[in-house]
Chain A
Amino acid sequence: MPQPASRPEMPVAAPDARPRVATRDLRAFFGQTPAVRGVSIAMAHGSVTAIIGPSGCGKSTLLRCINRMHETVPTARVEGSVLLDGQDVYAPGVNAVDVRRHVGMVFQRPTAFPTLSIRDNVAAGLKVRTGKPKSRSELAEIVETALHRAALWDEVKDRLDSSALGLSGGQQQRLCIARALATSPSVILLDEPTASLDPISTQSVENLLHELKGDMTIVIVTHNMQQAARVSDHTAFMLAGEMVEFEDTRTLFMNPKDERTEAYITGRFG
């Protein structure tokens, strides 16, 4: 009989123990059906955390709870708390839209806005930021920086005003990454970002994650264990909504403590 894994202590294994993102007994439901059962983890600043697990284990749901995207689904419900820099984003009075403006998200399929140009796509997130409006030159600089970081600048620098639909799938996904980066979030969530990409695009996205992690907290959901092993510092294994194990990546893959983790990573199921 599997034990509920609602451990009250927050396992963090990082030199810089400032947890940027933490969840406390997080539970998520679709109607009456639980999708995430009491997860408590913390992710430190400057680290990449991968969440792995078989299909339907709740890893995407967990990710979407972090920036309050889960509740955009009808009948979805969240209990527990998610702390961003120590502040509970589910506290009463906190505006979900505000939360999402501090967190960047990249989805499984490229979601470039079809009616906007490449430039406008990258700058789309900047339009809803508060603070003094940026001048055109400032915007152009931000767009260029973001496209450089997403390794897309060279391919699009001559056609920034053309439609985003003219790009290939891999380019569109990098465009979505640039769009998420343009707002300088401190946390970036990636939900299987390379699932629909070819191997070369996948590699460039993984390289990107290496470069980015210095000044951001990155959480990536992937069902490709090799990818998790390649890119992440810490890995969390989820099964049927529970957080089974959360270790630094080497330990989890070389020396898993839970037998279910070992069964999954050796391919006995999932």
Chain B
Amino acid sequence: MTTSPPETSQRPVPEPSPRQTPLATRVQRAAAERTARSIRGRRIRSRIVIGFMYLASFLAVLPLVLILFHLVREGMQSISPAFFSQLPAPPGDPGGGMANAIVGTLILISIAAIVGLPIGIGAGLYVAENRGTRLASTVRFLADVLNGLPSIVIGIFAWQVLVRPIGNFSALAGGIALGVMMVPLVTRSTEEMIRLVPNSLREAALALGYSEARTSLSIVLRTALPGIVTGALVAVSRIAGETAPLLFTALGNQFWSVALDQPIAALPLQIYYYATSPYEEQRALAWAGALVLIGIVLIISLGARMATRNRFGLGSGD
């Protein structure tokens, strides 16, 4: 992007040979002029387009920068040790924290992982190893459809199936709803990672006398594992901030509760309830909660990247 074409407008027009007519000279000079003009024009157009690209990149990054800037500015003032250790104070009273929401979020994403990861990895492994079969294509298609479902629809579904029959909102229902949301993400990323395993490894295992199942599990899956872990952690960080499914399942809780069959607090829910609160203290806490949520997501994502940097199984030794 930083190289430019040579300055041909300054290239000297070649001297006409003694045998050339004056007409040939004029034609030659005119052609050189046209070339020089068109090159100048092209360079200008190129610079304009490159300028647009820089502008577009800047605009793409701008929202993220603004969000982070606001979060830090508004949220930092309410971050204190108390935030991480205390329960929410009654409305109107200063102080308090979101300890229960932080713990609640961690519990919910753990349940989601227990539900979503085995199903997602299993489905991804099946789809990758049986590419081309009708069932594999169907599963992949359905996973994509599930991925596109609005999260609030999943929330209502979970409410109908997990909350109404039991009679009360529960952490388990919220975790399962989040897990369902995780499945298509994990399936897709697992499938991509397993497809990266070279077929030569599969063949080597089969030629050694490994059965298909054993090849899939102990060679292919194991080789793709670092990538699968990354995909899993990315999926976890995606659903950590989901609010809609939790509205009708986990509901939220002002008090300390880790029981799985009771409503549980969660950071996205607390932010939701506090952000539009008439009480200024609660609104300030909402900002702090958002900042902490982003922090958790960031830590998980960074952890995923660091965990796979050195130990990625694929690659040649040469």
Nearest chain A residue, comparing its CB with the CB of B200: A111
- A103 to B313 alpha-carbon distance, docked (Å): 28
Question: Shortest beta-carbon distance, B209 to chain A, in Å?
Answer: 3
A67 within 8 A of B: yes
Question: Shortest beta-carbon distance, A110 to chain B, in Å?
Answer: 8
Known contacts A74-B132, A129-B209; A69 and B315 CB within 8 A of each other: no
Nearest chain B residue, comparing its CB with the CB of A109: B200
B45 within 8 A of A: no
The segment out of B26-34, B186-194, B217-225, B243-251 that lies at the interface is: B217-225
Q: Contact between A113 and B223 (Cβ–Cβ < 8 Å)?
A: yes
- A168 to B317 alpha-carbon distance, docked (Å): 5
Out of A72, A100, A164, A169, name the residue touching B208 (CB < 8 Å).
Answer: A100
Nearest chain B residue, comparing its CB with the CB of A126: B208
B211 within 8 A of A: yes
Interface size on B, residues (CB 8 A): 23
Q: Contact between A97 and B203 (Cβ–Cβ < 8 Å)?
A: no
Known contacts A107-B200, A115-B222; A125 and B318 CB within 8 A of each other: no
A47 within 8 A of B: no
Question: Shortest beta-carbon distance, A9 to chain B, in Å?
Answer: 31
Out of B205, B207, B316, name the residue touching A165 (CB < 8 Å).
Answer: B316
Chain A residues 130 to 172 lying within 8 A of chain B, measured CB to CB, are: 164-169, 171-172
Interface residues on A, range: 35 or more
A contact residues around B316 at 8 Å (CB) = 110, 165, 169
Nearest chain A residue, comparing its CB with the CB of B208: A125
Known contacts A107-B200, A113-B201, A114-B223; A97 and B209 CB within 8 A of each other: yes
B314 within 8 A of A: yes
Question: Shortest beta-carbon distance, A96 to chain B, in Å?
Answer: 9
B contact residues around A176 at 8 Å (CB) = 204
- A206 to B204 alpha-carbon distance, docked (Å): 21
Known contacts A112-B317, A115-B225, A168-B317; A72 and B206 CB within 8 A of each other: yes
The interface residues of chain A, by DSSP majority, are classed as mixed
Interface string of B285-318 (1 = CB under 8 A from A): 0000000000000000000000000000111111
A contact residues around B314 at 8 Å (CB) = 114
A contact residues around B214 at 8 Å (CB) = 128
Question: Shortest beta-carbon distance, B203 to chain A, in Å?
Answer: 7
A contact residues around B203 at 8 Å (CB) = 69, 72, 107, 111
Q: Contact between B317 and A128 (Cβ–Cβ < 8 Å)?
A: no
A contact residues around B225 at 8 Å (CB) = 115
- A14 to B208 alpha-carbon distance, docked (Å): 29
Out of B132, B209, B222, B223, name the residue touching A125 (CB < 8 Å).
Answer: B209
- A105 to B124 alpha-carbon distance, docked (Å): 30
Q: Contact between B313 and A114 (Cβ–Cβ < 8 Å)?
A: yes
Question: Shortest beta-carbon distance, A119 to chain B, in Å?
Answer: 16
Q: Which of B203, B204, B313 has the most CB of A within 10 A?
A: B204
B210 within 8 A of A: yes
Interface string of B207-240 (1 = CB under 8 A from A): 1111100100001001101000000000000000
A59 within 8 A of B: no
Q: Contact between A179 and B132 (Cβ–Cβ < 8 Å)?
A: no
A83 within 8 A of B: no
Chain A residues 15 to 42 lying within 8 A of chain B, measured CB to CB, are: none
Interface string of B137-153 (1 = CB under 8 A from A): 00000000000000000
A contact residues around B209 at 8 Å (CB) = 97-98, 100-101, 125, 128-129, 183
Q: Contact between A164 and B317 (Cβ–Cβ < 8 Å)?
A: yes
Q: Contact between A128 and B210 (Cβ–Cβ < 8 Å)?
A: yes
- A110 to B201 alpha-carbon distance, docked (Å): 9
Nearest chain B residue, comparing its CB with the CB of A182: B208
Chain A residues 165 to 189 lying within 8 A of chain B, measured CB to CB, are: 165-169, 171-172, 176, 179-180, 183
A78 within 8 A of B: no
List residues of A whose CB falls within 8 A of some B CB.
67, 69, 72, 74, 97-98, 100-101, 103-105, 107, 109-115, 124-125, 128-129, 164-169, 171-172, 176, 179-180, 183
20 A-B residue pairs with Cβ-Cβ distance under 8 Å, sorted by A, are: A69-B207, A72-B203, A74-B132, A97-B209, A104-B207, A110-B316, A111-B201, A111-B203, A113-B205, A113-B223, A114-B313, A114-B314, A114-B315, A125-B208, A128-B214, A165-B315, A165-B317, A176-B204, A180-B208, A183-B209
Q: Pick the 3 closest A-B CB pairs, nearest first.
A: A101-B209, A111-B204, A105-B207
